[in-house]
Structure 1
Amino acid sequence: MDASGDGRHVRAPRSRMRTATLLCAAAALVAATVPASAHTRAVPAPVPEPVVVVDCFSKAQVRPEEYLLACGDGNNRLIELRWNTWGPQTATATGIDMVNDCNPYCAAGRFRPYPVTVTLSSPETWPEHPDVRRFTMIRLLYTDTAPDPVPKDVTYKLVY
């Protein structure tokens, strides 16, 4: 019975019933096809701190333009470094290795330029700063001539 009290049954038009059914079916279909990842907000991964190279003064550097190789006397310095890569495992650059020829002795010598490709590698935890990783190896590949008696391809351990 309806609210009018006349004993007649009032039916909703078929088109309304059909529309409601279709809407429910569409909602169920959408809910089933949306991946679970779309229901949650993506949390960005933490950005790791870059690996550093430590200089003669125990200062951490990233992509330095210059790097002193001979800390004791300053007779060997990398200059004009242009970094091609700086990643979590290696870093590569091109630049100039300025080396004192020490002729006739170092105080009277001349600094001579040698084009070089530099590769930093072997990152390890920096003991003085356990939350920082530092490169521990440096490779110098001379692209022309190398300073005598250094080979054209040489690798050194960085101890700073």
Structure 2
Amino acid sequence: MGGHRGRHGTRAAVTLCAAAALAAPLVLGAASAAPATDGPARQGAREPSVLDCAARPEVRPGAFLLACGDANSRLVSLHWARWDARAAVGQGVNQVNDCVPYCAVGTFRSYPVTVRLDSPDERSHFTRISLTYSGERPAGAPRTVSYPLPG
């Protein structure tokens, strides 16, 4: 290996990696507009599922990205006590970027939550998620917050 790559070669590699990381949410967001047409959840059994950022059905996911565009809010360490045709209920942690002083250098804070998925559509995809914070919660967030999900 030529040992004279120096700072410029390293800087270029870091720049390429950063550009790829920034482009990934845009690609995922574009993919979520097109519904998936294959896979076991689409071909028979109507096991309830939740669509991820790439419009793929997930059953009992261990993690779930809430902010597909910028990845600044995600659920991790999910454990499901209920998962049936009407609703799913579990416990986990909501990791939220505090964006201080701005999101690119913010700190992810962890908040324990109870997660509920419900309102399944005709394809058995849950179309609403509710988070109930059991202790501390992100600044300005109510104790329970609900979001629509793509169906």
Counterpart of 2:53 in structure 1 is 56
Residue identity opposite 1:124 in structure 2: D
Residue 142 of structure 1: how far off its partner (Å): 0.3
1:152 aligns with 2:124: no
Q: 1:159: how far off?
A: 2.4
- Name the CA distance, whole Å, in 2 between partners of 1:148 and 1:103: 12
Per-residue deviation, 1:100:
0.2
Post-superposition offset of 1:52: 0.6
Q: TM-score, normalised by structure 1?
A: 0.65
- Residue 101 of structure 1 aligns with which residue? 98
| From 53, 57, 68, the counterpart of 2:65 | 68
72-81 or 141-150, which deviates more = 141-150
Q: TM-score, normalised by structure 2?
A: 0.69
Larger Rg over CA atoms: 1
- What's the CA shift string for 1:123-153, capped at 9, x where partnerless? 002xxxxxx3100000000000110121111
Task: Structure 2: give runs of 5+ residues left out of the alignment.
Answer: 1-43
Q: Structure 1: which 5+ runs fail to align?
A: 1-46, 126-131
Query: 1:111 aligned to 2:102?
Result: no
% identity of equivalent residues? 45
Say if 2:131 is the partner of 1:134. Answer: no
Match of 1:122 among 116, 119, 124: 119
Q: 1:121 is matched by which residue type in structure 2? A: D
Displacement of 1:48: 5.0
Separation of aligned partners in 1, 2:45 and 2:70: 35
Amino acid at match of 1:103: V
Partner Cα distance (2:67, 2:146) in 1:
14
Distance 2:50 2:64 in 1: 9
Looking at structure 2, the residues matched to 104 and 159 of structure 1 have their Cα atoms a distance apart, in angstroms, of 31
Give, as a single letter, the amino acid of the residue that structure 2 aligns with 1:133.
Answer: S
